[in-house]
Structure 1
């Protein structure tokens, strides 16, 4: 009984101390800091990129050996494509150079079209038109043109809808050795992430004379597709091919992480003080033109504020300012 009493006393003291600590801290928890993340003085994005370029690469011999081991897989990858499967490359590092080397080495008999999924805006209809034109050229070269080889109602390709273009690509009749290989760098990129675009790409991959080679880098990329997309349309063969190569090209098109952005409210205050605008509506109308020409872009900071930044290098900005002055 004495031992049980001791245990109860220990538990009581623990509970009492816990609630006393919560009570004593409740007053201080109401005090909120006035500091914001945007107040932190961060290094300039351009200086950061320049410093990153000066970092000496390591383990170059091992990386060369690793890439050579992938090159020995080219025949296997080509066989998978000819059997109707799609190739999906994943792993740490940029796979752009490796996939393009595979295309230039093993896909010489194919017509190849490249989609840069790391771009923020991609015109999927223009991509489908380009693929249709490639197939039509192959059909004309082999002198197999018929009424079924032409788009619906014999209208120009530019006037066709995406649905009509996909139907045409699926029904076009040509020789069995006519193929267009579509390479999609970052099929999980920002310009391709919506479900509608992914469904269109899956339908494209399911076309008889289309094969797809794609890469992914986002950890949640497999969530884009359902079983029908994966097993019936894309028919992915997954290959783990880490290259440890920097994302130099892909990272160029992402907004700067550490750039000094200015909040829209702060910009309005400054413009109003200098009698440049009289209302927020007037400022927004001016900013719209700048945004349309991509001279100014908007990025949402972690504190929820919309900030404006100029996507130009420091040297370019200095040159513009010197010309203005």
Structure 2
């Protein structure tokens, strides 16, 4: 009897399932679209977000205070030649700056905000070199290559600056400059050249590095030599659960008016990650679109002619590779012209396109 009851119960579930599917299929479907959502202006959305009441402030403050017991250990590891890498959920900006301002008062500290959309690595290295030279002058330990440099650091090349940092040999091992990098995996530092420069700088005898990461794929930026020989990371899991207020302000919001500002800012971010030649090709197309707004777009032949005259491309194949990359990122679209030829256009309004050009200028 129990077996029969079980079979009947299972049959009842199956029947109800197919009845529900049948009723669901015959029901009237909604005609609403995502585009029908009446989204707000970006400034209004940011203002509303700033008024949200913070939660668990006392617990987060207690968590930050608990990390103070590690400050002496972190300082010791820095003096031994290691670098510190902080990871974990939440913004680690306040934690690292508190550590630097309380435990590293005897050494120079240079802060690099990796969460910014564009960073001048050379200018940062110039500042680090100037800080190190002043510190060694104060301790009267200026020797070797340090005393031979008379010209301004800003006039030196990147290789010369790094060679200057690598060539500074003194007997004072406690004399070092601590480079604090918030988000070493930030958008402007993810390219191979920037990471190689940072790794080479971290291996200098008078440079120590304290950095944070927030992207789960950040370790893919480095090879084995960079991790163990140049950076010499000491990894620390320090979740803070703090909001990314400062870091997030430089990224566009999603729920904004018609997605125009979102598209413009996204386009600028993507273009800044491309090569200078690719940016110049996009600029040619954008300038043509702004000056010929009545046309449906720019023909491929005209784009190729101008780009070749400006030595931006050497062949049609090179131009096609740029255009393919633009289309993959939805920066450029195609449409059929009145004469039957395909032309390219940028799906942005004129004012938004001008903002994009200003961003990549």
Do both share a fold (TM > 0.5)?
yes
Q: 1:205 aligns with which of 194, 202, 206?
A: 202
Separation (CA, whole Å) in 2 of partners of 1:168 and 1:135: 10
Q: Kindly indicate whether residue 125 of structure 2 is the aligned counterpart of residue 164 of structure 1.
A: no
Aligned to 1:6: none
Aligned to 2:169: 173
Q: Deviations over 1:85-120 (max 9, x none)?
A: 111111111111111011111111110000000011
Shift of 1:277: 5.0
Which sections of structure 2, spanning at least 5 residues, go unmatched? 1-31, 265-290, 299-325, 333-346, 353-361
Aligned to 2:96: 99
Q: Give the TM-score normalised by the residue count of structure 1.
A: 0.69
User: Equivalent residue of 2:198, what SS?
Assistant: helix
Shift of 1:37: 6.3
Aligned to 1:78: 75
Which sections of structure 1, spanning at least 5 residues, go unmatched? 1-34, 265-274, 282-298, 311-325
Shift of 1:227: 0.6
Q: Kindly indicate whether residue 242 of structure 2 is the aligned counterpart of residue 245 of structure 1.
A: yes
Separation (CA, whole Å) in 2 of partners of 1:151 and 1:49: 52
Shift of 1:121: 0.8
Separation (CA, whole Å) in 1 of partners of 2:218 and 2:84: 15
Matches within 5 A, 1:1-325: 40-146=37-143, 148-150=145-147, 154-174=150-170, 175-260=172-257, 261=260, 277-278=293-294, 306-307=347-348
Separation (CA, whole Å) in 1 of partners of 2:215 and 2:65: 25
Separation (CA, whole Å) in 1 of partners of 2:245 and 2:327: 23
Separation (CA, whole Å) in 2 of partners of 1:40 and 1:62: 37
Q: Give the TM-score normalised by the residue count of structure 2.
A: 0.62
Range that drifts further, 66-75 or 255-264: 255-264
CA shift in 2, pair 1:162/1:242, >3 Å: same
Range that drifts further, 233-242 or 44-53: 44-53
Kept after mapping to 1: 8 A contact 2:84/2:235: yes
Higher RCO structure, 1 or 2 (CA under 8 Å, sep 6+): 1
Kept after mapping to 2: 8 A contact 1:37/1:302: no
User: Equivalent residue of 2:181, what SS?
Assistant: strand
Q: Deviations over 1:104-145 (max 9, x none)?
A: 111111100000000111111111111111111123223344
